Amino acid sequence: MNRRQLRASCTLETLASERNLLLAADKARKRKSRRPDVEAWWLRREQEINRLREELLAQTWRPAGYRFFTIHEPKRRLIAAAPFADRVVHHALCSVMQPLLERRFIARSFSCQIGKGTTTAREVCRELTNRHAYVLKCDVHKFFPSIDHGILREKLAREIRCPGVLRLIDHLLASHVTDGAEIPPSFFPGDDLLEASARPRGLPIGNLTSQLWGNFYLDGMDHRLTEMERHGAYLRYTDDFLLFGNDKERLWALRGMIVEELSALRLKLAVPKSRLLATCEGVPFCGFRFLPGLRPRILGATKRRFETRRHRLFRTGMAMREIGVRIFAWYQFSKEANTLGLRRAYCGWPLDGRKRRRKVAKAFSPRGKR
């Protein structure tokens, strides 16, 4: 469909249709079917879907709030978990909004898109590393907690024309605001102290809508770099993006443009993480270090986190089957890199030969023998 057709289909009636809500409930239930609250909702799904449909069409639906908890791997993050009924609405909204927004994304904008996960992003990074001498690695400081609600709402209103959908977006944005005491607000030239502090900001890490809106928030910078600045050696994974080139002065000039573009979005670069590197030193990206002409290697911090997690699993007395499921997930992840010796050390026997590799995969698979 073209842009006009996608806009016409992004309406509150389409969002609140029984078919769309049922598909959204099925997506929200995946990998959570054993939770008691999810199964209780699913047993009475006809009544719950009818209730959601009536509230959405009458524009009386409101988010029920979040359950907050903190994770510490790979780094400390505050996660906001919405109730299951709210997640159904998130999926229903994304199903009508995502085709309209994703059509704007450039080809090398990755994360939370079908066929554009970490594996594809790493492959593009490997190709660009082999072809260029330098890379400008950039990371946005506190990306999700710093997203400005007003700017995001204005950008979404340019694409979405249905007033009912925009009101629903307003309710979702208002359901979570970053605490200024925990993460102080950033100030930019021309800001008034009180007004800048009062600006609502922050998207809850854990919402499906936050991932899509985060990608869309930086879409303008992608187009400026690739179209106006004519710099095609570029890729972005959420707020982590790389610019490759053979001219250091050109990359430094692009960094100044990026700072200017992020300032217009009320964002800042993470100074320790944003730096210019020679590709021969290794390009850290998505848990791997990429070197020209070589297979990528796993970052030291990634290995240390897995070691800590592996020892903790054995100390907890967990069943070997459950431990095998978790180790096999890391085993599959590590196969993308040059980790033959590392996997040999973890698995306890050599991996030489096709038969022995199949034996390791079978031993650590969820269906393998323990």
209-257 pLDDT, tens digit per residue, is: 999 999 999 999 999 999 999 999 999 999 999 999 999 999 999 999 9
The span from the CA of 322 to the CA of 27, in Å, is: 25
Q: What number is the average pLDDT over the span 301-323?
A: 78
Q: DSSP class of residue 197?
A: H
Is the model's pLDDT at 156 over the cut of 50?
A: yes
Q: Which residues of 13-36 are buried (b: 16+ CB within 10 A; e: fewer)?
A: ebbbbeebbeebbebbbeeeeeee
Q: Give which of 111, 63, 69 is closest to 84, Cα–Cα.
A: 63
Pair of tokens at residue 110: 């990755």
The span from the CA of 322 to the CA of 348, in Å, is: 18
pLDDT by residue (tens digit) across 14-48?
999 999 999 999 999 998 888 899 999 999 999 99
Residue 350 pLDDT level (bands cut at 50, 70, 90): very low
Pair of tokens at residue 3: 């842009």
pLDDT at 65: 86
Q: Cβ neighbours of residue 296 under 8 Å, at least 6 residues apart?
A: 122, 126, 288, 289, 290, 336, 337, 338
- β-partners of residue 241 are 138, 236
pLDDT at 140: 95
pTM (predicted TM-score): 0.86
pLDDT at 198: 84
% of the chain with per-residue pLDDT over 70: 93
Q: What number is the average pLDDT over the span 266-276?
A: 91
Are 127 and 135 spatial neighbours (Cβ–Cβ below 8 Å)? no
Is the model's pLDDT at 200 over the cut of 90?
A: yes
